[in-house]
Amino acid sequence: MNRRDEMHSLTRRAFAHFKNGTTDQAEATMSMPIEAYADPGRYRREVNRIFLHLPLALALSIEIPAAGNYRAMQVLDVPVLLIRGTDGKARAFLNACRHRGARLCDPGAGSARVFTCPYHAWAYNDRGALVSRYAADTFGDVDHATHGLTELACAERAGLVWVLLTPGETFQIDEWLGEFVHELETLQLGQWSIFEQRELPGPGWKVALDGYLEAYHHNSLHGKTVGKHTVGNLLVLDTYGPHQRLAFGRRSLGELADTPESEWDPEKHIRLIHSTFPNLSISGILGDHCLVSQIFPGATADVTTTRQTVLVHTPPTTAEARAASEMFSAMVLQAVQDEDYKVGATIQGGIHTGANKAFVYGRNEPAVQNYHRTIARFMRD
């Protein structure tokens, strides 16, 4: 099925739900013991298995567009350095000197030909090779070939840089993404520009992620933000192994009743959310704007950090265009920070009270159910 037919099919499914007051559903409700959200031992085991041994999308390709561009970040307890080499390839390394482990680059982005340790001036090139040492003649013999930066498995696909955080382990990106890669490629992330980036503190990993995977709460919680644009409790869902594509209906769906299908413009009537397991959500596409969210677990089960990136299809060059981008950015910030995460904090705060022995996921929350089943499956593997 070509993309045009696929989008029409999704719109047809959403419109049918709109007319009938229905939504895609799971076969039954699902219960999850509260320990899944609160038990410290379980939390550490799950984070270790899910986040340290599976590929994570750590950056957009456009964040390191040219040779020598780098981005340094702390992911969980792992210091990561992403570098675009002179050969055009993105590589990932542990951001730690091979002499005594000092950090080479502070968190952030920049450009460099050589990466020099601030402690004793050991220097590495864009491929992680040790190329020079301060006062090498007095230091003694060191085999440069065995003292390059510790490399992490890395692949670039669909405008994203994927990394596995455990040294020595490998992955096949095409195997990991499967057919979902074609969905991600339709977003053409390499053709967007970054308008704004920020980090948001949030509630625990699962509390935060649950909110990205359903439209059940849109009317009640997001009435002043995204809820103005989407139909609450209307979801069209497709799964691709551990990954999911959600389609929300826009409030304009009703206009289709009097419009021949040949004249439909699906992008005006549905909103797609691409959810890549375990922590990437690409959503909020509205006109020329897009929201990329990366949710990272914190030191304990009750906190996360979300890296929120607002993309624009064309960098604003007029006051009107900039105002539109600023409005979109403010809307998604409010929806996540002041609505989702504010309520999420109350959920997190109530977990230990004994009010609930388990949480229930409704039939109308199939993507949430799928997410938790996927966690369970990887914990069994």
Give the tens place of pLDDT for each residue, 66-97. 999 999 999 999 999 999 999 999 999 999 99
Nearest of 139, 62, 141, 70 to residue 108 by alpha carbon: 70
CB–CB of 147/130 below 8 Å?
Answer: yes
Q: How many helices (H) and strands (E) would you count in the chain?
A: 11, 20
Residue 379 identity: M
What is the predicted pLDDT for the residue at 226? Answer: 81
Run of H or E including 207: helix 205-211
Six token digits for residue 177: 């993404």
CB–CB of 74/67 below 8 Å?
Answer: no
Q: What is the pLDDT of residues 292-318, one digit of tens each?
A: 999 999 999 999 999 999 999 999 999
- Cut 0.85: pTM above it: yes
Number of CB atoms found within 10 A of residue 74's CB: 13
User: CA–CA separation, 226 vs 328, rounded Å?
Assistant: 10
Strand pairing partners for 214?
none
> Which pairs count as long-range contacts for 117-124, CB under 8 Å and 24+ apart, including other chains?
122/97, 122/98, 124/148, 124/149
Nearest of 278, 378, 376, 277 to residue 32 by alpha carbon: 376
Packing angle between helix 40-52 and helix 366-380, nearest 10 degrees? 90
CA–CA distances in Å: residue 29 to residues 25, 192, 213, 344: 9, 39, 15, 21
CA–CA distances in Å: residue 93 to residues 73, 128, 162, 218, 262: 11, 7, 12, 40, 50
What is the predicted pLDDT for the residue at 366? Answer: 98
Strand order in the sheet with 280-286: 193-202, 304-312, 289-297, 280-286, 270-276, 243-250, 230-240
Q: Does 287 have pLDDT greater than 90? A: no
User: CA–CA separation, 89 vs 55, rounded Å?
Assistant: 17
What structural domains does the chain harbor?
Answer: 3-53+179-380 (3.90.380.10), 56-170 (2.102.10.10)
Mean pLDDT of the residues in the chain: 96
Q: Which residues lie below 8 Å from residue 176, measured CB to CB, with a gap of 6+?
A: 54, 55, 162
What is the predicted pLDDT for the residue at 284? Answer: 63
What is the predicted pLDDT for the residue at 225? Answer: 87
Q: What is the pLDDT of residues 209-235, one digit of tens each?
A: 999 999 999 999 998 888 788 999 999
Strand order in the sheet with 130-132: 115-116, 123-124, 130-132
Q: How confident is the model at residue 1 (pLDDT cuts 50, 70, 90)?
A: confident
Q: What is the pLDDT of residues 128-159, one digit of tens each?
A: 999 999 999 999 999 999 999 999 999 999 99
Nearest of 32, 29, 34, 33 to residue 362 by alpha carbon: 29
CB–CB of 160/184 below 8 Å?
Answer: yes
What is the predicted pLDDT for the residue at 135? Answer: 97
Strand pairing partners for 210?
none
Number of CB atoms found within 10 A of residue 380's CB: 7
What is the predicted pLDDT for the residue at 49? Answer: 98
CB–CB of 168/52 below 8 Å?
Answer: no
User: CA–CA separation, 299 vs 13, rounded Å?
Assistant: 41
Q: Does 286 have pLDDT greater than 80? A: no
